[in-house]
Structure 1
Amino acid sequence: MNLAADRSAAAGPEVVCLPMFSMTRTATATAFRPALAGANLRETYLDLPGHGDSPATCPPTSQALLDTVCAWLDHHTDAPVLLAGASYGAYLAAGIARQRPDLVRGLLLVCPGITIAPASRTLPDHRPPPGPTGWLDDAPTELRTHLDTALGHRTPTVVATVLAALHSGGPGDDTFLQTLRTGPGYALPDEATDTPYHGPVSVLTGRQDGIVGYADQFHAMRRYPRGAYATLDAAGHYLPFEQPALLRALTQDWLHRTLTAPMPGHTTAQRLRDNGRHG
């Protein structure tokens, strides 16, 4: 439950954002803050165990990380909260909605992993359109293959933005992360379970995402009776940095749907007061 967090002081509803694998709350804020701007939300960005500045105080399994986030939410928030995540953070957020729907008022999943094993993912058949000559020249050699696979919007500016995010925030625990990623507990035990979550959901994917794809996410929409799905052209796995304007537009739609939806256990009068206070 000892997680590093950045929390804004706004008086509105709380949105909790979870990072991509090995990335930090600083990078998550860079990705999501422009999309959430103007909504008077209390924005919270967490470092998962072993990520950024959060110590690795739990076993190296995805279920242990999920349980740690749930315990933090139970202790530090007036749940239910709006829950957002990208990639692995979205994988965990979806797991929280399955296992602890009482904690989640609405769910924003950006380039979510659906199955954790790479061999089980449905990936795009076609390569992204080529970028300009030299678009990867400023990337470290060891990251070029990854970025070539991950990015759909292939420009030097996008590469620089992604590299800055990858290197921002605390150091993390590389040994813990490697053990998590290669261990038998990397997949959540209920990963394939189609337990429905009935709150407002938006699932955003990149058409050229060579890491998790976009097709598995569409098939998983059966889990979300109130779900919206979008796949964006010229976007890959780092969609928030590749298409920030579209991310903002779709996030604002999700916020409207979520903040005007009935709160669990709320009366009509309470909902009207909440909507008037939070816009």
Structure 2
Amino acid sequence: MICKLENIEVNYEAYGAGTPILMLHGSPVDHRLMKGCMEPVFNNRDGYKRIYMDLPGMGKTKGESWITNIDEMLEVVIKFIEKVIPNENFLIAGESYGGYLSRGVIYKLGSRIDGLLLICPAIILQYEKRNVPKHTVLKRDVTLLSQLNPSDAESFNSIQVVQSKSIWERYRDEILSGIEVADIEFLENIDANGYKFSFDVDNMEENFNKPTLMLLGRQDSRVGYKDAWSILEKYPRATFAVLDSAGHNLQLEQSEIFNCLTNEWLDRIEEDSTKQ
């Protein structure tokens, strides 16, 4: 589907009915990353409208020339919310770069958000300022790597902590597919113009006191897990889980734990709603 805003058309997909939950993917992937890990959670769970948007420059949403920094990227997300989820409370789930944007949405629209899920969130966008471990592979599949073309093998081996055929197939379909269509020049231009918000996103007037889940990979060499600890006190209702044998794509490597903890997060949100 297409959401036509004033100066950009945003591609998105929506499924189900009920409480809206906005899904924000990382960079430079697209909505398929979030759809791949979140839809299985709702196979046996009704009552939610899942909204998967392609951020500008990724998927089928064009990177418009007027978007030159991450403040303007956030502006697109806010306007999309106002158009697609007008005058409604909603939940938000963000992965990596989408986790940074999700915190921007909390900063701007916190009173309308009833729950937050952060998957391997980027706490600091500038890579050189992150506290991350060295990349390590705990379960290497040499046979699989030998069967892939060199570029795919390099991409997969450079990020996956746990390797298997099933994880490769999900990586190919949910992650690599988005990377291959991303407008890298557009995204690099945003990076060059200051890869952080112009405001202190974690300096909120009030803490976010709604059910929150932060999922981090113990072996995540892209965003790490230590930086996320620094914002934990801003989220008094947060479960903070650091998963072993998991890197930046923990939703692939630890899918059962991911599903379990995400369902528990939704349980807490539903319990909150019955008290209101």
Q: Distance in 2 between matches of 1:144 and 1:12?
A: 41
Moved more, 184-193 or 19-28: 184-193
**What TM-score, normalized by structure 2, do the two folds share?**
0.86
Moved more, 40-49 or 188-197: 188-197
What is aligned with 1:274?
none
Moved more, 155-164 or 37-46: 155-164
* Residues 1:37 and 2:43 are matched in the alignment: yes
CA contact (8 A) 2:25 2:96 kept: yes
What is aligned with 1:120?
129
CA contact (8 A) 1:98 1:197 kept: no
Gaps of 5+ in 2: none
What is aligned with 1:277?
none
Q: Deviations over 1:25-49 (max 9, x none)?
A: 2332112111233221111100011
CA contact (8 A) 1:47 1:53 kept: yes
After the TM superposition, which residues 73-88 of structure 1 pair with which residues of structure 2 at under 5 Å, given as runs?
73-77=81-85, 78-88=87-97
CA contact (8 A) 2:135 2:159 kept: no
SS at match of 1:100: helix
CA contact (8 A) 2:63 2:186 kept: yes
**What TM-score, normalized by structure 1, do the two folds share?**
0.85
Q: Distance in 2 between matches of 1:134 and 1:194?
A: 48
CA contact (8 A) 2:89 2:113 kept: yes
The sequence identity of aligned pairs, in percent, is: 25
Gaps of 5+ in 1: 272-279
The count of corresponding residues between Structure 1 and Structure 2 is 263
Q: CA RMSD in A?
A: 2.3
What is aligned with 1:90?
99
Shift of 1:228: 0.9
What is aligned with 1:198?
209
Kindly tell me: are residues 189 and 145 of structure 1, through their superposed partners in 2, closer, same or farther at Cα, counting changes over 3 Å? farther
Q: Distance in 2 between matches of 1:125 and 1:55?
A: 34
Q: Deviations over 1:210-242 (max 9, x none)?
A: 110111112221110111100111111011121
Shift of 1:203: 0.2
Q: Distance in 1 between matches of 2:144 and 2:200?
A: 36
Moved more, 37-46 or 153-162: 153-162
What is aligned with 1:25?
31
What is aligned with 1:178?
188
What is aligned with 2:75?
67
Kindly tell me: are residues 23 and 132 of structure 1, through their superposed partners in 2, closer, same or farther at Cα, counting changes over 3 Å? closer
Q: Distance in 1 between matches of 2:246 and 2:158?
A: 11
